[in-house]
Amino acid sequence: MKTQAQTVSIAVVGSGYVGLVAAACFAEIGHRVICVDNDESKVRMLQAGGVPIHEEHLPELLSRHRGDRLEFTTDLRAATQAAEAIFIAVGTPQSQTGSADLSYVDAVASEIARSIDSYKVIVEKSTVPVYTNEWIRRVIERNGVSKELFDVTSNPEFLREGTAVVDFLHADRIVLGTATERAGNLLKSIYHPLTCGDYYNVPGSVPGPRESNDPPPILLTSTKAAEIIKHASNAFLATKISFINAVANVCEAAGADIEEVARGIGMDSRIGPKFLRAGVGYGGSCFPKDVAAFRNVAEQVGVDFGLLREVEKINDEQKQRFFQKIRSALWTFRAKKIGVLGLAFKGGTDDVRESPALDIVKRLVAEGCIVTAYDPAAADRCKELIPPGPCMRYVDELYAAAQDADALLILNDWEEFAELDLSKLHYTLRYPIVIDGRNLYDPETMTKNGFTYLSVGRPGLSQPIDPVAAFFVPRRRDDTRA
Ligand code: UGA
C-alpha cells in the first residue's frame, strides 16, 4: 500500500492549462508522467520542445523533465495501461443551457475503460458538476470493467493562469475526494513530496509561499464534496469580485474611493484582502463558465441560487459601465484613435477567453474607433478573433499603443502597465486622457502629471465628465496638428 514518497506512474489526459501544468508539476515532484492529447500537432510541438501557453516557470519545468520523466503522446490506450493513476484534465466547456458540456469527459472515460487491464485510479481534475464521478464510474462499468479494477476520485485543481506552477506546487490545500482507502492512499503518495515538505528543500525547486515547515494540508472528502468545493470556490470568488464592483459603483456615486473602502473591508480577517480589486469585471475560461454551471447544478437539484444570477448580471453591467465611461470622456467615437493596454482577461497570461478587454475593444471597433493595442503575450491569440485591419492595429511596444491616441485605456493588470513613465506617456498621447479599468494609478498623481484620469469607483467619477474640458487639456508642445 502506497502512502510514502514513491514514484507513481501517472497519465494526464488533456494538455490545456490544467493538464499541462499538472503533468509538468507531477514530473517535478518525482513521478513518471505521460501527458496525452488527441491534438497531434500540439503533441508534436510539445515533443519537440515547444510550449503552447504563456505560463511562468512552465518552460523550465518542461525542459527539465521532457524525455526523462515526462512524455507526450496521442496514444491514450498505451498511457492508460502504463499508469497507476489517470488524471482527466480535458475541457468542460459551457453548453447552450449554461451547464457544463461533459462530452469530452465521457469520451475519455469510455476510451480509458476499453484500455484497463489492471487496477487504476481515475481522477477528475477538470472542473465538473457534482455526480460526474458517478457518471464516469457508470460509463466504465458499462464498458465491462469490473468494480475491483478501478476507483473514480476527484482532485480539483485551484491554479490560476499566470501563476499556475506556483499555485500547484505551493497550494493552499490539496482536496482529495475518494470513496476508498486504496485510491486515497495512492493519491496521498502522489502529493507526498509536497505535503511532507521535502520538495521545498530540493535545490532548484520552484520558489513560492510554502516551505518545508509549512507544507500544504490535505483535505480528504467524499467525491461529491470535492466536486462541489471546486464549483463553490470559483462561484464564491466571482461573487467577491461582483460584490466589490457593486460597492465601487456606490463609491463612485457617493464620492468615496473604492481602494480605501476595499482596504478597510479586507482588513477584517473574516473577509480577507484578496479578490477585492474593483475593475472591468471578471473574465477567463473559468469564472463565467463555472458560475453558470454551478447555478445550473443547483437548479437541477432543486435549489434556486438566485445570488449567482445577480453576480453574473453585475459582471455584465460592469463592462457596460466602463464602456459608458469611455464614451463620456470622448464624446463621440467615430475615427477616434484609442490606445489599449491589455487584451488578455488579466495580466500574466496569453488567454483571451471571455476577456473583458476584448469585449470592450470589439465594441470600440464597432463604433468606428481606430484601436491600437498592446499586450505582452496575448496579441497573437487576439488576432485570431479580431484580425488586424485599418481599425485594429497590434503593436509590440507599450508606448507605440499610446502614440498620438485620443485616449489610453488600461484593460488588464500586467505589472509593466503599473510602471509607466508618466512624462513619456503624456508626451506620446495626442490628448492626455487615461481611462484605467484596473485602478493601477493614484488619481491625484495622475492629475498632478497633467492627465485627465478616470478609473473605477473613485471620487469625481459620478459626475458626468465634461468632454469639452477633457479636450482642453494642453497638448504636448510640438503638436502642430489642428
Ligand atoms: C480562477 C481561480 O482563481 C482559480 O483558483 C481556479 O483554479 C481557476 O479559475 C480555474 O477554475 O481553473 P483564473 O481564471 O486563472 O483562476 O484567474 P483569476 O486570477 O481568478 O482571475 C479571474 C478574473 O477575475 C480575471 O478576469 C481577473 O482580472 C478578475 N479579478 C480577479 C478581478 O477583477 N478582481 C480581483 O480582485 C481578482
Distance CA 219, CA 196 (A): 14
Question: What average pLDDT does range 319-347 have in this prediction?
Answer: 95
Question: Across 381-480, where does the E strand assignment appear?
Answer: 392-394, 407-410, 433-436, 452-454
- Report the percentage of the chain scoring pLDDT > 90: 89
Q: Kindly report, residue by residue over 245-255, the tens digit of the pLDDT.
A: 999 999 999 99
pLDDT value for 460: 54
Q: What is the DSSP string of 243-287?
A: HHHHHHHHHHHHT--HHHHHHHHHTSTTT-STT---SS---SSSH
199 touches ligand 1 (CB under 6 Å): no
Q: Specify the amino acid at residue 294.
A: F
Q: Tell whether the model's pLDDT for residue 341 goes beyond 60.
A: yes
Close Cβ partners of 302 (under 8 Å, ≥ 6 residues apart): none
Yes or no: say if 329 and 452 are a contact pair by the CB < 8 Å rule.
yes
Quote helix, strand, coil % in the chain, to nearest 5.
Answer: 45, 15, 40
Would the pLDDT of 482 be above 50? no
Q: Per residue in 182-218, pLDDT tens?
A: 999 999 999 999 999 999 999 999 999 999 999 999 9
Q: What ligand 1 atom has the least distance to the C-alpha of 159?
A: 7
Q: For the CA atoms of 253, 258, 261, 263, what is the dihedral angle to 10 degrees?
A: 180
**Grid coordinates belonging to 467:** 468632454
Examine the pLDDT at 311 and tell me if it is beyond 80. yes
35 assigned to active site: no
pLDDT at 478 over 60: no
Pick the atom of ligand 1 nearest to 438's CA.
33
Q: Residue 236's pLDDT is what?
A: 98
Rounded CA-CA distance 206/198 in Å is 13
Which amino acid, residue 67?
G
What pLDDT does 145 receive? 95
At residue 463 the predicted structure's pLDDT band, cuts being 50, 70 and 90, is: very low
Q: What is the per-residue pLDDT for 479?
A: 43
| 415 CA → ligand 1 middle, Å | 16
d(CA 80, CA 67): 18
Atom of ligand 1 nearest to the CA of 276: 36
Q: Is 239 touching ligand 1 by the criterion CB < 6 Å?
A: no
Say yes or no: CB of residue 234 within 6 Å of ligand 1: yes
Residue 442's contacts (CB-CB under 8 Å, 6 or more residues apart) are none
132-171 pLDDT, tens digit per residue, is: 999 999 999 999 999 999 999 999 999 999 999 999 999 9
Q: Which domains does the chain have, with CATH numbers?
A: 9-221 (3.40.50.720), 222-482 (3.40.50.720)
Q: Residue 361: which residues within 8 A CB-CB, separation 6 or more?
A: 340, 343, 371, 373, 386, 392, 411
Query: 10 Å Cβ neighbour count for 192?
Result: 22
- With a cut of 50, say whether residue 473 has pLDDT above it: no
Q: Is 135 in the pocket of ligand 1 (CB under 6 A)?
A: no
Predicted pLDDT of residue 93: 86
**CA 102, chain centre distance (Å):** 20
Report the DSSP pairing between strands 407-410 and 32-36. Answer: unpaired
Q: What is the pLDDT of residues 440-457, one digit of tens each?
A: 999 999 999 999 999 999
pLDDT higher than threshold 70 for residue 462: no
Query: Average of pLDDT values for 324-344?
Result: 95
Q: What are the pLDDT digits (tens) for 262-299? A: 999 999 999 999 999 999 999 999 999 999 999 999 99
Q: Rounded distance, CA 76 to CA 36, Å?
A: 6
118-132 pLDDT tens trace: 999 999 998 888 889
Give the distance (Å) from ligand 1 centre to CA of residue 450: 33
**Element spanning 177, H or E:** strand 174-177
- Of all residues in the chain, what percent carry a pLDDT higher than 70? 94
